[in-house]
Amino acid sequence: MGIYLFNRLCYIALMFFGFVLNSYSQLDINHYLQEGRKNLENGEYVEAIKRFNDIILIRPNQHLAWYLRGISKLQLGDNIGAESDFTNTIRIHPGFSDAYYYRGITEVEKQNYYEALKDINESIALNPLSADYYAGRGYIKFIVNDTIGALCDLDTAIKIDSKHYKAYFNRSLIKTYQKKYKEALEDCNKAIQINSFSLDALIERGRIKSLNNDTEGAMEDLQFVLKKDSLNILAYYLLAINHHQKKEYDKALTYYNKVISLNPINALCYFNRAVLRSETKSYKEALNDYSEAIKINPKNILAYYNRGIVRVMVKDYKGAVKDFSSAIELYPELSDAYLNRSSARLYLNDQAGAFEDKKKADILMKKSSLLSENNDSLSKAKLLEFRSDFTSINFETGKIQYKDYQISTFPVYSICIKTDDSLTTTTNIIFAIDQLNDKNKIGLKVELTNIKKNISNEIIENGISKLDSMNKNELENCDNYLWKSILYNQVQNYNNAIESINLSIKNCSTNFLLYFMKGNLHFQIGDLLNSFGGQDELMLAVDNNMSTTKASNDDYYKQAISNYTTSILLNPEFCYTYFNRAYVEAINNDITGALNDYSHCLAIDNSFSAAYYNRGLIFIYVQDLANGCKDMSKAGELGIKEAYRVLYKYCN
């Protein structure tokens, strides 16, 4: 049997690799580049990445494939992956100026502005007549407070190309910052004249008009934007601000609500809605909104400070002291926080603490604290950084549009009945599963998948009846008991599933797949118990190792890990067992074990996208953003669209 299996492996491997080589040797690189470009132009970024992956696999020195894949990743917010691809482009083609330019853009996203300037300076040295490069460098110089240099670069861009939309647009931003609203409006109008489809410029013109007290003109521009794009978050937000400043609270609240419905992690919108609710004396709702803003951004100084003020209003003085203390911890120069904490401590009869706070506030007020110069909460909010809150993401097509922000790991892989129209969800050839399908006598097929599928009870019952009708010798075959266990598991009959798998193990104790399956069964029972509150009242276990009538979900998780360990000892090359054990270890708070097992899994199969994704989430959970974002970038590159949601939220 061993020799037969080895020969069969060799035969399939030769056929498989022969097919790959023949297919790729005939791959038309130019055609794939053209198709990838079409995907990119149509906003189908994930599909574009797949095209460029195919080219890079067989032509690793094709610099255009690296470059265009980098552009696709940049569009999805994967700055880490994009930077890596642009670096590879430069390695292959050191004279490719666009690669330096766009690598500079990734540095801007990471706020490494001086590194960005180095790259864009290099792109200008290679191509000194590109208006794009000067417009980009001008924007970065503006960010680092080199306003004169910024305007000089933007003027140069316009001299090179008198119809350069971005140069006019960026110059309007600088003029707005300088409060030269007339000049800013002229530049913004010019940008709109050049690119009448630019909603960004229309939004900016609305903002300029609002700052110049032309509220009606601002609203007209913003409403026009919404006619063209009914999901434009920034337009709704700026309309809310305009109505809020006019004290038209009902209209402002409607627009704030719309922003939050489109982007539930917009901390600034929660903050400003809380300000509105505080101003209208809806204190309970205001507290909830400040808490939501803090949950999204735990370093939001003013959310703590303002929540403290509201807590004083509702006479929660202990809570107020705690909030003012949090604000002070984040910004020790905030004199208002000391002053208000002093008042709250007086209500709590803490005379000594109140005196010390008042003394500290007096000292700081003489220094004229930056944040205490303006008591308007809406103005204070502008001191905070919420740059990415208004980006929209749609993962259905590979574009970026938030629908929710619930993020979860990919679940365990299990052996399940395969329906006729289903596709095998794993990309690797799994010989143990193939062998199981070859030997079965009941006319069904199985696959390894982590996607739940509904199989009719009739199919399950027919399969079990066929197995039961076999003579004793045939039924006692370990594969047939395994089939029976798979069928029982499909309908969550865990008692019979475990009984069948134990009988299978009794006959074939060295089959790693049996322990893999048994581990899955114990995990599923533990998961079920967890949903019921963690205690087994249903007497699910018939396993000799768990013979008590009651067992906790933790006991089942431990049994699952034990069985996975046995399976790994019998076959250390089956990466899915490491994946499953890692998943259960993570649930059991064994973070180190989970990280190690996902790493083992990836050492066996370095293209296992779900393992990169899950490991990346754990790294992010333990605040190792460098490794977490790197894993997410790889998961996205390998086709997991959800990875870009995580990259957007945690890595930019």
Does residue 630 lie in a domain region? no
* 3-state secondary structure (DSSP) of residue 552: strand
pLDDT of 163 reads 94
Going by pLDDT thresholds of 50, 70 and 90, the confidence category of residue 4 is very low
Beta bridge partners of 416: 447
Going by pLDDT thresholds of 50, 70 and 90, the confidence category of residue 317 is very high
Residue 198, pLDDT above cutoff 90: no
Task: Give the structural domain span for 355.
Answer: 267-385
Tell me which of 463 and 583 has the higher pLDDT: 583
At 5-43, the pLDDT tens digits run 333 333 333 333 333 334 444 457 888 899 999 999 988
pLDDT of 276 reads 95
Does residue 232 lie in a domain region? no
At 552-570, the pLDDT tens digits run 678 889 999 999 999 999 9
Does residue 135 lie in a domain region? no
pLDDT of 391 reads 43
Residue 535, pLDDT above cutoff 80: no
**What torsion do the CA atoms of 610, 613, 618, 621 make, to the nearest 10 degrees?**
-150
At 574-625, the pLDDT tens digits run 999 999 999 999 988 899 999 999 999 999 999 999 999 999 999 988 889 8
pLDDT of 15 reads 36
Tell me which of 111 and 435 has the higher pLDDT: 111
Does residue 58 lie in a domain region? yes
Same domain, 596 and 474: yes
pLDDT of 227 reads 93
Q: Among 292, 286, 287, which Cα is nearest to 273's?
A: 286
Residue 650, pLDDT above cutoff 60: yes
**What torsion do the CA atoms of 631, 636, 639, 641 make, to the nearest 10 degrees?**
120
pLDDT of 401 reads 35
Same domain, 598 and 482: yes
Dist. CA 430–CA 435, nearest whole Å: 9
pLDDT of 439 reads 66
Does residue 217 lie in a domain region? no
At 567-587, the pLDDT tens digits run 999 999 999 999 999 999 998
| Across 353-367, average pLDDT | 87
Does residue 114 lie in a domain region? yes
* 3-state secondary structure (DSSP) of residue 5: helix
Structure tokens at 626: 């460098």
In contact, 87 and 67? CB cutoff 8 Å:
no
494 φ/ψ angles, rounded to the nearest 5 degrees: -70, -30
Please give the C-alpha separations between residue 77 and each of 99, 356, 578, in angstroms, as whole numbers.
17, 47, 30
Same domain, 372 and 475: no
- Total number of domains constituting the chain: 3
Residue 141, pLDDT above cutoff 50: yes
Q: Among 564, 643, 548, 556, which Cα is nearest to 601's?
A: 564
Same domain, 472 and 599: yes
| Across 447-474, average pLDDT | 78
Domain CATH number, residue 310: 1.25.40.10
Element (H, E) at 601: helix 591-604
Residue 510, pLDDT above cutoff 60: yes
pLDDT of 397 reads 40
| Across 448-460, average pLDDT | 80
pLDDT of 429 reads 53
At 233-281, the pLDDT tens digits run 889 999 999 999 899 999 999 999 999 988 888 888 999 999 999 999 9
What whole-number percentage of the chain has pLDDT above 70? 83
At 65-113, the pLDDT tens digits run 999 999 999 988 899 999 999 999 999 999 999 999 999 999 988 888 9
pLDDT of 24 reads 43
| Across 142-150, average pLDDT | 91
Dist. CA 525–CA 545, nearest whole Å: 14
Does residue 92 lie in a domain region? yes
pLDDT of 399 reads 37
Dist. CA 425–CA 19, nearest whole Å: 20
Residue 505, pLDDT above cutoff 80: yes
Structure tokens at 557: 């998780």
Average pLDDT for the chain: 83
Instruction: Mark which of 385, 408, 426 sits at the end of a domain.
Output: 385
Q: Among 119, 163, 156, which Cα is nearest to 140's?
A: 119
The length of the chain is 652
Instruction: Mark which of 339, 366, 385 sits at the end of a domain.
Output: 385
At 373-429, the pLDDT tens digits run 333 343 333 323 333 344 443 434 433 333 334 567 888 998 888 766 554 445 455
Dist. CA 373–CA 264, nearest whole Å: 31
Does residue 255 lie in a domain region? no
Q: Is 428 exposed, middle or buried (0-12, 13-18, 19+ CB in 10 A)?
A: middle
| Across 203-227, average pLDDT | 92
Instruction: Mark which of 341, 366, 385 sits at the end of a domain.
Output: 385
What whole-number percentage of the chain has pLDDT above 90? 54
